[in-house]
């Protein structure tokens, strides 16, 4: 057998096969019996007596569309006479669980034939597994087995007074969302649930949403997953998994589909849509009851029996088969009494748009394959007005000695204004100001030395957006020694380097991104910054650092003498961005060069990790350089194998407080003996603002004491 079995089936098959050791080829019963084979008999040769029926029990998951298809047989020797779906544990399986395909074969004439099977979806080319068995047939079947006949569908009451003979919810809302593909995971129960909810959201709000099935598969606490589940509507209403904030909708973008039982890893972003109620209308409701539920509540989550006939469906009206094992969940969204024998349901599957008709849909007769079992509706009445989009890219820039400028990006349309909050030295958030619509900047003045953090949100019609990112800046005590926001040329210059492209330059950086990740940003403030290749070009890698390092240095800066640690400080903004082919040889480094050289910042790349560009703050104590003339040296490198590396520096600031000057020393000290017990001292005061004078005395050759 070609062991390319579906990942989601592999473990289940191993467990199942361990319990099937008794299902090997058995000797024929002289009175007429059965030779039963399983996947363990792959590649074997067996003898089939005329009195015996050949039965294959092959594990698959029909709810995914992946079923065993007979690819080769000599029907002059052996013929398939029947098939069925059998649960692994009778009446215990969830919707979407793996099951056995039970295939019956009977001899036609004496001879040999090889049965060849393929595990695949009929509408897709890829074969996931194969199975073969050679059968030596003794002669035409003489046993008493009779093939099954398709059961008459159980319809119950079909007439629904007051309802039209034909109805489609999709037509009512201007078309349903695109049918999705569950792949090889038995997650149809989750896809049917999101399929219902997405249509209700579109019908009520007019919004096309792509909800996350993986959230339901990975985060439910009922034990459901790729081996099956039941109707999960409660997770749209009030069932909140551990670590999640609420039961509101999770979008596909927030937890993309993996077709596997991956970890939940909460929390996820939950959006405004939340359902109110759900009900199962019955284990086997009548046609009339299902119609009424669709008409009153919209599309329904329903169960059905999926088998190879359903997998092979490509259009038209799907009529009777012998399939009776409830194993698959789909969406019903309408009906037509005038089609088929008794009427048809309009059904959405979760096997992709290439299956069925009209992009993943089916017309299935009332009651066929148990369609409509456990039908359930969901009540959703809309999310109300949408709040405005939150602002982004908030940047705080300190303008010493007492001002911080804020800039942000407005992502909403027609907002009433923006609310700004501030936090001082890690304290509580407090309202600072509001500004009008379209305003994207604010200047916070009159500040004292401290670290200030800010956040901004938009508001409209009484609704608030989420907060923007937080941005912080520090006001330092002391005087500004050096300041450069790169809006004017302060005398920075190249310090060499071997890079052939993407050298540091003072320029207007062109923002660029790749696969949704930013690699070069606009300046942290104003228009200019120090950046590795300001141009972006037609590709994200056109002007990044290549083939070595690039270095840039500041002009000379004279630092004042320092009285204590922290009196001279350096602050700046920076980022290093790289793709996941970066290595630890790629870096951004900032050095202070004076009497000695000190690396004050070093950020290195990490293999197999993507680092997006994001402005960061750096604060450095330069007291060790007090009184020296120094310069800043900025270095960045693509020293590993060719990789995507970008870096930038902005808003460089050095502040300092000089040590106070001592008062002038007194002079002309004179000592005059007045008596045996008194000496008078006189001196000239040369200081104008002294606090006082200290006098010391010594006797003979001893030490001075105060």
Look at the block and give the residue holding tokens 């916070």: 444
CA dist., res. 303 & res. 371, Å (int): 6
Q: Do the strands 328-336 and 300-304 form a parallel or antiparallel pair, or are they unpaired?
A: antiparallel
Task: Kindly report, residue by residue over 179-220, the tens digit of the pLDDT.
Answer: 999 999 999 999 999 999 999 999 998 999 999 999 999 999
CA dist., res. 504 & res. 529, Å (int): 10
CA dist., res. 637 & res. 267, Å (int): 36
CA dist., res. 705 & res. 703, Å (int): 6
For residue 160 the two structure tokens come to 């629904």
- pLDDT above 60: residue 385: yes
In the chain, ranges of CATH 3.90.70.10 domains: 166-379
Whether residue 317 contacts residue 330, with contact meaning beta carbons closer than 8 Å, is answered with no
Does the domain formed by 484-656 have CATH 3.90.960.10?
no
What is the mean pLDDT of the segment spanning 391-403?
Answer: 86
Half-sphere exposure of 614 (CA within 13 A, CB side): 9
- Give pLDDT, residue 21: 30
- Give pLDDT, residue 303: 96
Region label for 161, one of left (φ > 0), alpha (ψ between -120 and 50) or beta (otherwise):
beta
Task: Kindly report, residue by residue over 330-354, the tens digit of the pLDDT.
Answer: 999 999 999 999 999 999 999 999 9
Beta-carbon contacts of 597 under 8 Å, excluding residues fewer than 6 positions away, are 591, 633
Q: What is the CATH number of domain 392-475?
A: 2.60.40.10
Question: Per the residue annotation, which of 328, 361, 405, 407 is the catalytic one?
Answer: 328
Q: Which CATH class for the 166-379 domain?
A: alpha beta
Q: Which residues on neighbouring strands pair with residue 671, listed in sequence order?
A: 681
In the chain, ranges of CATH 2.60.40.10 domains: 392-475
Task: Kindly report, residue by residue over 160-177, the tens digit of the pLDDT.
Answer: 788 999 999 999 999 999
Question: By percentage, how much of the chain surpasses pLDDT 90?
Answer: 60
CA dist., res. 572 & res. 588, Å (int): 13
In the chain, ranges of CATH 2.60.120.200 domains: 484-656
Whether residue 551 contacts residue 537, with contact meaning beta carbons closer than 8 Å, is answered with no
Q: Which of 383, 336, 363 is nearest to 203 (CA)?
A: 383
Give Cα separations from 340 to 154, 364, 625, 630 (angstroms). Answer: 15, 8, 90, 89
CA dist., res. 471 & res. 349, Å (int): 47
Task: Kindly report, residue by residue over 289-318, the tens digit of the pLDDT.
Answer: 999 999 999 999 999 999 999 999 999 999
- Give pLDDT, residue 557: 93
Computed over every residue of the chain, the mean pLDDT equals 88
Number of neighbouring beta carbons within 10 Å of residue 303: 26
- pLDDT above 50: residue 23: no
pLDDT tier, 662 (very low <50, low <70, confident <90, very high otherwise): confident
Whether residue 62 contacts residue 54, with contact meaning beta carbons closer than 8 Å, is answered with no
What is the mean pLDDT of the segment spanning 9-28?
Answer: 34
578 is catalytic: no
Alpha helices in 127-209 (DSSP H): 169-172, 188-205
Alpha helices in 306-456 (DSSP H): 308-311
The string of DSSP codes covering 628-647 is SEEEEEEEEEE-SSS--EEE
- pLDDT above 60: residue 81: yes
Look at the block and give the residue holding tokens 């399939």: 323
What is the mean pLDDT of the segment spanning 80-106?
Answer: 84
Top-confidence residue, 580 or 418:
418
Burial of 342 (0-12, 13-18, 19+ CB in 10 A): middle
Task: Kindly report, residue by residue over 493-516, the tens digit of the pLDDT.
Answer: 999 999 898 899 999 998 888 877
- State CA 145 to chain mean position distance: 54
Beta-carbon contacts of 519 under 8 Å, excluding residues fewer than 6 positions away, are 512, 513, 540, 544, 577, 578, 579, 612, 613, 644, 646
CA dist., res. 224 & res. 191, Å (int): 13
Question: Per the residue annotation, which of 185, 188, 226, 453 is the catalytic one?
Answer: 188
Give Cα separations from 252 to 212, 226, 384 (angstroms). Answer: 4, 17, 21
Burial of 243 (0-12, 13-18, 19+ CB in 10 A): exposed
Q: Which residues on neighbouring strands pair with residue 654, listed in sequence order?
A: 482, 570
Pick the CATH number of 7-137 from 3.30.360.10, 3.40.50.1000, 1.20.1050.10, 2.60.40.2020: 2.60.40.2020
- State CA 64 to chain mean position distance: 24
Number of neighbouring beta carbons within 10 Å of residue 459: 18
Top-confidence residue, 392 or 93:
392
- pLDDT above 80: residue 540: no
349 is catalytic: yes
CA dist., res. 507 & res. 91, Å (int): 70
In the chain, ranges of CATH 2.60.40.2020 domains: 7-137
- Give pLDDT, residue 664: 85
For residue 209 the two structure tokens come to 């949403």
- Give pLDDT, residue 660: 62
Q: Is the peptide bond between 276 and the residue preceding it cis, with omega within 30 degrees of 0?
A: no
Beta-carbon contacts of 536 under 8 Å, excluding residues fewer than 6 positions away, are 510, 511, 512, 520, 542, 543
- pLDDT above 70: residue 431: yes
Question: Per the residue annotation, which of 61, 349, 393, 407 is the catalytic one?
Answer: 349
Look at the block and give the residue holding tokens 């004042």: 560
CA dist., res. 659 & res. 561, Å (int): 6
Q: Which of 524, 621, 499, 537 is nearest to 575 (CA)?
A: 524
453 is catalytic: no
Whether residue 262 contacts residue 215, with contact meaning beta carbons closer than 8 Å, is answered with no
Q: Is the peptide bond between 105 and the residue preceding it cis, with omega within 30 degrees of 0?
A: no
- pLDDT above 50: residue 77: yes
């Amino acid at each position: 057998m070609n062991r390319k079995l579906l990942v989601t089936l592999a473990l289940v098959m191993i467990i199942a096969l361990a319990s099937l050791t008794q299902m090997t080829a058995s000797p024929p019963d002289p009175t007429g019996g059965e030779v039963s084979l399983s996947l363990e008999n792959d590649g074997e040769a067996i003898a089939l007596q005329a009195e015996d029926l050949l039965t294959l029990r092959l594990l698959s998951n029909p709810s995914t569309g992946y079923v065993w298809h007979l690819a080769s047989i000599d029907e002059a020797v052996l013929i398939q006479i029947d098939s069925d779906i059998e649960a692994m544990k009778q009446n215990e399986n969830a919707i979407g669980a793996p099951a056995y395909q039970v295939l019956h074969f009977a001899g036609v004439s004496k001879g040999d034939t090889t049965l060849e099977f393929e595990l695949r979806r009929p509408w897709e080319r890829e074969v996931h597994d194969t199975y073969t068995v050679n059968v030596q047939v003794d002669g035409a079947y003489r046993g008493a087995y009779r093939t099954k006949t398709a059961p008459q569908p159980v319809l119950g009451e079909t007439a629904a007074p007051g309802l039209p003979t034909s109805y489609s919810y999709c037509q009512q809302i201007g078309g349903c969302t695109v049918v999705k593909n569950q792949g090889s995971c038995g997650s149809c129960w989750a896809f049917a649930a999101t399929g219902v909810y997405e249509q209700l959201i579109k019908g009520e709000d007019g919004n096309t949403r792509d909800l996350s099935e993986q959230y339901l598969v990975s985060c439910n606490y009922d034990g459901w997953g790729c081996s099956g589940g039941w109707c999960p509507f409660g997770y749209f209403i009030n069932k909140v998994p551990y670590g999640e904030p609420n039961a509101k909708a999770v979008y596909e973008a927030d937890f993309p589909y993996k077709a596997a039982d991956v970890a939940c890893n909460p929390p996820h972003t939950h959006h405004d849509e939340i359902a109110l109620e759900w009900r199962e209308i019955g284990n086997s409701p009548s046609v009339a009851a299902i119609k009424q539920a669709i008409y009153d509540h919209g599309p329904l989550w329903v169960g059905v029996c999926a088998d190879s006939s359903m997998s092979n469906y490509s259009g038209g009206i799907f009529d009777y088969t012998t399939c009776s094992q409830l194993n698959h969940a789909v969406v019903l969204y309408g009906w037509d009494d005038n089609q088929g024998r008794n009427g048809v349901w309009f059904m959405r599957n979760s096997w992709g748009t290439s299956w069925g008709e009209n992009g993943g849909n089916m017309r299935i007769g009332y009651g066929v394959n148990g369609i409509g079992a456990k039908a359930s509706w969901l009540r959703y009445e809309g999310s109300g007005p949408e709040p405005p989009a939150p602002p982004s890219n908030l940047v705080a820039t300190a303008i010493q000695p007492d001002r911080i400028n804020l800039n942000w990006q407005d992502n909403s349309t027609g907002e009433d204004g923006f609310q700004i909050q501030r936090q001082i030295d890690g304290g509580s958030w407090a309202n600072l100001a509001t500004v009008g619509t379209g305003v994207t900047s604010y200047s916070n003045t009159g500040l004292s030395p401290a670290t200030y953090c800010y956040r901004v949100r938009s508001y409209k019609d009484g609704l608030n957006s989420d907060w923007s990112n937080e941005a912080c800046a520090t006001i330092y005590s002391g005087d500004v020694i050096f300041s450069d926001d790169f809006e004017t040329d302060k005398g920075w210059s190249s310090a060499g380097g071997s890079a052939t492209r993407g050298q540091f330059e003072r320029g207007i950086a062109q923002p660029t991104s790749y696969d949704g990740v930013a690699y070069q940003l606009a300046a942290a403030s104003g228009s200019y910054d120090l950046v590795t290749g300001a141009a972006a070009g037609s590709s994200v890698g056109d002007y990044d650092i290549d083939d070595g390092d690039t270095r840039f240095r500041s002009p000379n800066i004279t630092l004042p003498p320092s009285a204590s640690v922290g009196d001279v400080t350096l602050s700046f903004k920076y980022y290093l961005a790289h793709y996941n082919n970066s290595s630890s040889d790629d870096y951004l480094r900032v050095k202070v060069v004076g009497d000695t050289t000190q690396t004050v910042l070093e950020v290195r790349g990490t293999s197999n990790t993507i680092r997006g560009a994001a402005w960061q703050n750096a604060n450095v104590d330069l007291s060790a350089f007090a009184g020296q003339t120094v310069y800043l040296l900025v270095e960045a490198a693509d020293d590993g194998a060719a990789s995507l590396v970008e870096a930038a520096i902005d808003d460089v600031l050095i502040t300092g407080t000089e040590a106070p000057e001592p008062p002038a020393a007194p002079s002309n000290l004179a000592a005059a003996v007045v008596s045996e017990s008194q000496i008078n001292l006189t001196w000239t005061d040369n200081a104008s603002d002294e606090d006082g004078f200290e006098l010391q005395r010594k006797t003979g050759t001893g030490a001075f004491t105060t």
